[in-house]
Each structure stands twice: as C-alpha cells, then as structure tokens.
A and B are shown apart, each in its own frame.
Chain A
Amino acid sequence: MVCGTAGNKQQQREINMSKESQMRAAINQKLIEMGERERLKELLRAKLIECGWRDQLKALCKEVIKEKGIENVTVEDLVAGVTPKGRALVPDSVKKELLQRIRAFLAQHST
C-alpha cells in the first residue's frame, strides 16, 4: 500500500481543510445568530467615529467627488477610491480592541 499513502495524505489534508471551513462557517453563523456581529459592528463604528477616522474618510470622499463631479460620481468610484486607505487608516488600538473581543468569542464558542 505504499503508492496509496501519498493519496491518503492529500485526502486527509482536504478533509481537514473542509472541516476547518465547516467550523469557520459554524462560528460565523453563531456570531450572527447571537447578535455578536451586530454588537461588534456597533462597537467598531463608535470607535471609528471617536478617533476621527470617519471624518478623515469623508475628506477623502470629497476629493473623489471633486474629481469625478457630483453628477457622475458612483458608489463604485467612492468605494474604489476610499476603501484601501480606509483599511490602512484604522488605528492600531481600535484593531486591538476588536480583535480581543473576537478572540474571546472564538475561544468561548468554538467547541
């Protein structure tokens, strides 16, 4: 059964991966059903407003609008122009706090 070992290993890896994605799906579902995702969203929103991130992004939006013109600007223009910088501008402290909460949830609910 020597030639079968490599195949088995590959299969095993695939099974592990799908178990993993199953597990991720299950946790995501729990996150939503228990209302935790909504709470996390609210928390993030509040923190981002507090630290001025929202205002920064609004300013970026203004630039996009001035460039494209009020009549022609689309949601895609704004999203494309602003999202990458938006991700980069989130302060580390905010990220840390959110991650802490997420990890706590995962630790609590992943069995």
Chain B
Amino acid sequence: MKMEDVSLSSMDNSKMEGFAQEILSDLVEDACLGLCFEVHRAVKQGYFFMDDTDQESMKDFEIVDQPGVDIFGQVYNQWKNKECVCPNCSRSIAASRFAPHLEKCLGMGRNSSRIANRRIASGNNTNKSESDQEDNDDVNDNDWSYGAEKKAKKRKSDKNPNSPRRSKSMKHKND
C-alpha cells in the first residue's frame, strides 16, 4: 500500500472540526488567563477597587437624563442669550457674535488684517497704528501664508480699488 503524502485528505472533516475547536479552546483559555493576570496585578498594585466608592458618592455623580440639561446637570444654552460689553468700544454685544466683533473691533485676527492690507494695496493712506498692528499679525499668525497674501494683493489691484465690496474668493482663500 502506497504511503500517501500528508495532506488534507488524510484528515477528515470531523477531525478538522475537532482541531478547530481545539484552537478555539486554546484562544479562550488565553483570554481567561490574560484576564486573571491583569486582575491579579491590579489587586496587588492596589488599583483594582479604585472605581468602587460608597453608595452616596456614586449617587452624587450619576448621569443626568433630563431635558434641557446636559449629563452633568448643567444648563447648556444659558450663554446663548447673554450679552457682553466690548472693552474696546463699550458696546453691548450678543455672546455668539462677540468673538467676531472683537476681531474687527481690535483690528486683530485674519479677516481684519486682510481688510487692512487691501486698503493699503489700493493706495489709501493708512495711519501708523494700523500698519503696526498689521506687522504684529504677520509675526503672530501661524496659519497665514505670505505667498497667498501676495497673490491676493496683486489681484486686488486689478479690480476697482474703491469698491467697498469684499470679493468672495478672497474670503475663502485661506480657510
């Protein structure tokens, strides 16, 4: 009788199934052992019981599930309707409009430096304080690319320099 080469045909399906079960069993045992080792270490190092506290403290920090309130129990849209006083122009501004207003009011931030640059490029006389602020912006503004600004300046001089309307393409250029 000829000796057959070792191949799948020498192991029938039930044996293959048994083999697969064995492999699974090994894997499950690995998982159990892994867990036991982790737990044991946690116990001996003292951090196993860390998230158990007394019942009272547990109640204090329970997740809140009420309407109008976040999971900590804080009201989350109470700042929507508040108004803030601008330190620069002393106007009362709505909270959600406050940051953009400050940007323009103080002359800092990307948009206002762009407006200022455009005014300069179109040949208007600017006072010294404005150009100083603009220099600061160049240094501080990390996401502002000088190359793009040069391109923008060039394009603007082609158009009507006295037009007050901001072009849309420039607005979205550096976004």
| Chain A contacts to B: CB under 8 angstroms | 16, 19-20, 22-24, 26-28, 31, 37, 40-41, 44-45, 48, 54, 57-58, 61, 65, 70, 73-75, 78-79, 82-83, 86-87, 90, 95, 98-99, 102-103, 106-107, 110-111
Interface string of B151-167 (1 = CB under 8 A from A): 00000000000000000
**Interchain CB contact under 8 A, A98 and B36:** no
Beyond the given A106-B16, A106-B20, please list 5 additional residue pairs across the A-B interface where CB-CB is below 8 A: A26-B6, A31-B23, A37-B27, A75-B40, A111-B8
B19 at the binding interface (Cβ < 8 Å): yes
Chain B residues numbered 102-124 whose CB sits less than 8 Å from any CB in chain A: none
Q: State in angstroms the CA–CA spacing of A22 and B11 once bound together.
A: 11
B69 within 8 A of A: no
Separation of A82 and B16 alpha carbons in the complex (Å): 29
Q: How many residues of chain B are within 8 Å of chain A by beta carbon?
A: 29
A79 touches B33 (CB 8 A): yes
Given the interface pairs A41-B31, A98-B27, the reply to whether A61 lies near B39 with Cβ below 8 Å is yes
Chain A residue nearest to B20 in the complex (CB): A102
Name the distance in Å between A70's Cβ and chain B's nearest Cβ. Answer: 6
A78 touches B39 (CB 8 A): yes
- Are B36 and A23 in touch, CB under 8 angstroms? no
A75 and B31: CB pair below 8 A? no
Q: A44, A58, A70: which contacts B28 (Cβ < 8 A)?
A: A44
Q: Residue B43 at the A interface, CB < 8 A?
A: yes
Contact B8 A95 (CB under 8 A): no
A111 and B9 alpha carbons, distance in the complex (Å): 9
| Contacts A78-B36, A110-B11; A103 near B30 (Cβ below 8 A) | no
**Contact for B40 among A73, A103, A106, CB less than 8 A:** A73
What distance in Å separates the Cβ of B29 from its nearest Cβ neighbour in chain A?
A: 7
- Among B18-52, those with CB < 8 Å from A are 19-21, 23-25, 27-37, 39-40, 43, 48
The docked-state distance in angstroms from the alpha carbon of A48 to that of B30 is 12
For the complex, give the distance between the alpha carbons of A44 and B27 in Å.
8
